[in-house]
A and B are shown apart, each in its own frame.
Chain A
Amino acid sequence: MEIYGLGIVAFCMYIGSFAGYFIGKLLGVSGNVGGVGFAMLLLVLLSNYYETKKGGWSERTQNGILLLSALYIPIVVAMAGIQNVVAAFSGGAVAFLAGGIATIGSMLLVPLIGKLDKDETIE
């Protein structure tokens, strides 16, 4: 059933975020440290495990998960709509230069660090 799919994702999110908040508390940082990442990792492990052991979840269960991922882009569009764009534009030269240069610089580093993967396989 579709609700099983939604439930599986909810379960992963709770477990992952529990780990995230727990690590946050241990480190003395407020908030959720990597909780979403742990949740995703858990979903990957669960679905890969079911795939190999039991041939995967039923189509209707999968539909529940796919419904959520299909909503992802509309959610991102809504998220863009609640950003404080005025503050971004009026933060002055410091905000604009720091944010802009750091972003573009980081993007240019992508192909460099991406190469680490290939170097490893050659060795």
Chain B
Amino acid sequence: MIGEIITTLFSKFPLVGAIGAVAIIMAFSYWFANLIGQKRMGSAIAIVISLALAFVAGKTTGGAKGISDVTYFSGFALLGGSMLRDYAIVSTAFGVKLENLKKAGLPGVVSLLIGVAFSFFVGVIIAVALGYNNAVDAATIGAGTVTFIVGPVTGTALGASSEVVALSIAAGVVKSVVTMIITPLIAKSIKLDNPTTAMVYGGLIGTTSGVAGGLAATDSKLVPYGAMTATFYTGLGSLICPSIGYMIVKMFL
């Protein structure tokens, strides 16, 4: 009977349950960060713990949506979904100074163009090196390397097989996960400590979830700047990968 009531609680109030669970994860992470004398690592540790839980959940449930595939924690899909994420990201723009944006305008635009092209061609080269020799497959995997949304968009447009589309999504997810983990570690050495480099970083990496997570773990003041350029990245990628990108790949293969 008690068990039944507890199950009811989790299925009736999924969002509240998820908020409670995140609070516990964060409390533990900040406690641990304090323990090892790295106060600022708190959110980075929380993100890594969440990723680890998502891995365990994915292994046990066989689903694609991490913790939210566990019935008790379905609220994670709502709390961590794109609606609330974007709502919160927009709010971080409050307090941003107009002159900082103007200063980073040109490098921001340049970083977007170079970022999409760079990721696409790195993906294409690696795909070809590992034996994906036809232009459609290589371009789809390259597009997945841009972000895990651009991959399937390009694959669908070019008529790639579902196996290749799945690979392209995996490449994008690797990028996003690697970004979340590595950013706080590498931030100092790439001078990621001011609004301009944050905007450049957002434009170069582009995966909104990776950039958001990585910057949140590095310095939350930089989040709005990185997020602002990153939000154009997937759109730009969906635009140029299946068109210009594919044509260039086709010239060589």
Q: Point out residues on A near B: beta carbons under 8 Å.
A: 9-10, 12-13, 16-17, 20, 23-24, 27, 29-37, 39-41, 43-45, 47-48, 62, 65-66, 68-69, 71-111, 113-114, 116-117, 120
B94 / chain A contacts, CB cutoff of 8 Å: 9, 43, 47, 62, 65-66, 69
In the bound assembly, the distance between CA atoms of A106 and B167 in angstroms comes to 20
In B72-94, the 8 Å CB interface with A consists of: 73, 76-77, 79-81, 84-94
- Determine whether the beta carbon of B85 is less than 8 Å from that of A77: no
In B26-69, the 8 Å CB interface with A consists of: 26, 43, 46-48, 50-55, 57-59, 64-68
- Determine whether the beta carbon of A72 is less than 8 Å from that of B216: yes
A111 / chain B contacts, CB cutoff of 8 Å: 190-191, 197
In the bound assembly, the distance between CA atoms of A32 and B86 in angstroms comes to 12
Question: Interface stretch among B2-10, B230-238, B245-253?
Answer: B230-238
- Sample of 24 A–B contacts (CB below 8 Å): A9-B87, A27-B235, A29-B239, A31-B234, A33-B236, A40-B227, A41-B228, A44-B93, A47-B95, A69-B94, A73-B26, A86-B58, A87-B58, A91-B166, A95-B144, A99-B171, A101-B122, A102-B123, A102-B171, A103-B174, A103-B178, A107-B201, A110-B200, A113-B107
Q: How many residues of B contact A (CB 8 A)?
A: 114
B16 / chain A contacts, CB cutoff of 8 Å: none
A12 / chain B contacts, CB cutoff of 8 Å: 90, 93
Shortest distance between the CB of B236 and any CB in chain A (Å) = 8
In B195-239, the 8 Å CB interface with A consists of: 196-197, 200-201, 203-205, 208-210, 212-213, 216, 220, 223-224, 227-229, 231-232, 234-236, 238-239
B43 / chain A contacts, CB cutoff of 8 Å: 73, 76-77
Shortest distance between the CB of B243 and any CB in chain A (Å) = 10
- Determine whether the beta carbon of B53 is less than 8 Å from that of A81: yes
In the bound assembly, the distance between CA atoms of A91 and B226 in angstroms comes to 28
In the bound assembly, the distance between CA atoms of A83 and B19 in angstroms comes to 17
In the bound assembly, the distance between CA atoms of A60 and B153 in angstroms comes to 43
Shortest distance between the CB of A91 and any CB in chain B (Å) = 3
- Determine whether the beta carbon of A95 is less than 8 Å from that of B197: no
- B163-184 vs A, Cβ < 8 Å mask (1 yes, 0 no): 0001101111111111110110
B229 / chain A contacts, CB cutoff of 8 Å: 37
In the bound assembly, the distance between CA atoms of A81 and B25 in angstroms comes to 11
- Determine whether the beta carbon of A79 is less than 8 Å from that of B87: no
Main secondary structure of the interface of B (DSSP, over half): helix
Considering the complex, give the chain B residue whose CB is closest to the CB of A24.
B235
Shortest distance between the CB of A103 and any CB in chain B (Å) = 5
The one of A66, A87, A96 that contacts B169, using a Cβ cutoff of 8 Å: A87
- Determine whether the beta carbon of B175 is less than 8 Å from that of A99: yes
A31, A33, A71, A75 interface centre (most CB from chain B within 10 Å): A75
- Determine whether the beta carbon of A98 is less than 8 Å from that of B90: no
- Determine whether the beta carbon of A105 is less than 8 Å from that of B122: yes
The one of A74, A80, A93 that contacts B130, using a Cβ cutoff of 8 Å: A93
In the bound assembly, the distance between CA atoms of A118 and B118 in angstroms comes to 23
A93 / chain B contacts, CB cutoff of 8 Å: 130
